[in-house]
Structures are given as C-alpha cells and as structure tokens.
Amino acid sequence: MAEPAAQARPRKVPLIRRMLTARGRSLEITKAGWLFIVLTLAVGFAAINSGANLLHVLFGCQIGLILASGVLSENMVQRARVQRRATSALHAGSRGALAIELRNHSPDGDMISVSVEDDDREQVDDHCDPVFAVAVTGGAATTLHTTVILQRRGLQPLPKAVVATRFPFGLFVKRMDLPTDERVLVYPRIYPIDPDVLPFARTGEGEALGARSRAGEFHGLAEFRDGEELRRIHWPATARLGRPVVQEYEARGEAELVLELAHGRTGDEPFERAVERVASEALALLRAGRVAIGLRYAGELAIEPGIGSGHERQLLEFLALVGDPVAVPALSPEVQR
C-alpha cells in the first residue's frame, strides 16, 4: 500500500444496535419502528387485559408485520452480492466514478429496496455515495453508478460498506457487512495550475530537446503502449516484428521537461505536498500539449519525457505509488531506496 488508509474512528453506536449485531449483520430499530413497537405492546397489553378478541387479532397482525419485516429484510440482505469497481481515474480528494453491481443471488425471490452505503459505524474521511435498487428479480443483476471520494493516494481499499435494507416498512434497518478486499489505485491530489504561468513552460529544460510528437519529421518506431492512439500503429512494422509498434515524429519547437521529485516516504506531509505539486504541474503541462514531460525521482530519471494519455497515466501511476517501498515493485532499486 502506498499510503495507509485513512484511520477509521469508531462512531458511537446505540447499545441496542450493538446488542443486535452478530456475524457481520446488524439490526437497527428506526424511530417509526420504536413507535410501532410501543403501539404493538400497548395493543397487546390491552388485549391481554381485556380479553377482547378483536384486539387479539390486531395484536397478532402487528406481531405478524414485525416478524415479516424481520424475515423479509434478512432475505433481502442475504440475497445481495455486491461488486464495486472504479470506472474513472480516481484522484485523492476528488470525486471518481464507481460502478456497483448488485446481483440477486436467489434464483426465485425478488430483492426489493436494497441500498449499498458506507458503514456508519466508522467515521472516515473516505466516502462513497449510497446507491439504491428498488427491485432486482431472482438471479438478475443491476449495475448502479455512484461517486467515491478517497482522501489518500496509493492502492487504497474502497470505503467500508454495507448492504442495507429497510424493507418492507422502514421500521427496522438490516445491514450486512461487505468484504473489504476491493482496492483501487488512487492518483495524487490535483489542483488547477495555469501552464502559462509556469516559468519553464515555453523554454523547457532537460536532456532531450528533440521531443517525440504526433506530427513532424519521422523520429523512429516505438512499442505500442496502452492508451496510445490506434491510428499511430505502423502496421507493416507491426506485422514484421510480430508486436505492435507505433511511429513517432520529432516535434518542432516544443520542449522536453523533466520534473524533479525529491526522495520521500508515503505519509510525510512535505513529500505528499511535493507529489501533489509535481502531479498537478505534469498534468497541466501535458494537457496543454506543448511540452513532453518526464520525471526524475531522487536524482534518477524515473519516467522518460513523453506526451499523450498513456504517458499521463504512466506518470500518475508512478506518482500514486511513489514513496511506498511495498507497493512499487516496478521501480528500480535505486529509485526505491
């Protein structure tokens, strides 16, 4: 893990809810539920006291509604199978897209009124907006889209979540813990920077003044990397070499820039600020499209200068994991020291 997950602070949970928690499931009585229970007890008392038959019927009906609530809500959470995955780049402190696949495990019964929401027993800075499914038929699945905010960069677990239901009447909340092994890569926090105000933006600095570009004079062939445009593939060379290669051209007039990042450790505040600054500058310059950006970490060239979305992602992935010796096996030993 590049950076330890946000420290979870336990939130005070009412005693009754704590008592009604076991084996990853919990039961909470809502205000309406308490009111209903009080009414049921009052009717029960009146029924026993008076021997009035109609009150016995009403008392039985109310008990039946409570029992049905318990059984149905248990069924709903038991049927739920949840998978979460990020569907966009996640930057620390910013909203990212998250897809939640909610599958009804039961082949027959419907799954009604189920939500996936953060576990409210822990107070964390990470947050995922809740999603809600009205009904999922037996054996079917539905994909719900929401947003997530994670505060720290690195390979982070998604916020602890629960499958919750208040079905059928909102009198009780039944929750089931979800497994916490889903991790996503969180890029460093980005803040807006105007590339024109950066002093090196036009002049450039660094080793390679002849930067590669999408247009201009032919520079050479390079291996195809994820994210590069398919139209840049040089098909004859690809066929000859048996692996995809792309043509590169020499940019005219644009500079190359290698950004510097001093050595540091994940979690150190100055290092984190430096990572955020480098990431913000790199993205601002790359998106302006006039400078090829590279990265030197701890005095060594970690990322060669380049442009394009694939290069941008490579930079961000490095910056997401940099400073964490466990999570950066790809980095050279010198860089990791």
Q: Measure CA of the first residue to CA of the last residue in the chain; give whole Å.
A: 16
Specify the DSSP class assigned to residue 97: E
CA distance 89 to 309: 12
Report if residue 239 touches other proteins, rule: CB under 8 A. no
167 binds other proteins (CB under 8 A): yes
Q: Is 140 in the site for other proteins (CB under 8 A)?
A: yes
Q: Is 104 in the site for other proteins (CB under 8 A)?
A: no
Within residues 38-57, the interface with other proteins by CB under 8 A covers 39, 43, 46-57
Out of 105, 132, 225, 234, the only residue in the binding site for other proteins (CB under 8 A) is: 132
Placement of tokens 């739920």 in the chain: 80
DSSP 11-38: PP--HHHHHTEETTEEEEE-HHHHHHHH
Rounded to 5 degrees, φ, ψ at 161 are -130, 165
Q: Taking contact as CB under 8 A, which single stretch among the options 15-23, 106-114, 208-216, 261-269 is the one that binds other proteins?
A: 106-114
Residue 99 lies near other proteins (rule: CB under 8 A)? no
CA 123, chain centre distance (Å): 17
3-state secondary structure of 291: strand
Tokens in use for 237?
């060379």
Distance of CA 29 to the CA centre of its chain: 30
Size of the site for other proteins (CB under 8 A): 51
Residue 159's contacts (CB-CB under 8 Å, 6 or more residues apart) are 118, 119, 124, 126, 127, 128, 148, 150
Residue 113 found at the interface with other proteins (CB under 8 A): yes
Contact set for other proteins, span 54-83 (CB under 8 A): 54-65, 67-68, 72
Q: Segment contacting other proteins (CB under 8 A): 8-16, 111-119, 194-202, 242-250?
A: 111-119
Give the binding range for other proteins (CB under 8 A) out of 92-100, 163-171, 210-218, 272-280. Answer: 163-171
Q: How far is the CB of 163 from other proteins (least distance, A)?
A: 14
Interface ranges with other proteins (CB under 8 A)? 32, 35-36, 39, 43, 46-65, 67-68, 72, 108, 110, 112-113, 115, 117, 129-135, 137, 139-142, 166-170
